[in-house]
Amino acid sequence: MIARLFNVPAHDDSMNAIGTSTVGSSEAIMLGVLAMKKRWQTKRKAEDKPYDKPNIVMNSAVQVCWEKAARYFDVEEKVRSRSPAKVTNSLKVWDHSTSTALRTAS
Give the pLDDT score at 106: 45
- CA pair distance 32, 22, nearest whole angstrom: 10
Task: Determine, yes or no, domain membership for 91.
Answer: yes
What's the domain range around 82?
A: 24-101
Task: Determine, yes or no, domain membership for 46.
Answer: yes
Per-residue pLDDT of the chain (106 residues; tens, 9 = 90+): 666 676 777 666 676 666 555 565 788 888 888 998 999 999 999 999 999 989 888 877 788 888 899 999 999 888 876 665 555 555 566 666 666 666 555 4
Task: Determine, yes or no, domain membership for 74.
Answer: yes
Task: Determine, yes or no, domain membership for 83.
Answer: yes
Cα–Cα distances (Å) from 7 to 4, 12, 17, 69, 77, in that order, read 5, 12, 10, 28, 33
Give the pLDDT score at 82: 62
Give the pLDDT score at 59: 78
Task: Determine, yes or no, domain membership for 14.
Answer: no
Task: Determine, yes or no, domain membership for 97.
Answer: yes
Counting the structural domains of the chain, the total is 1
Task: Determine, yes or no, domain membership for 2.
Answer: no
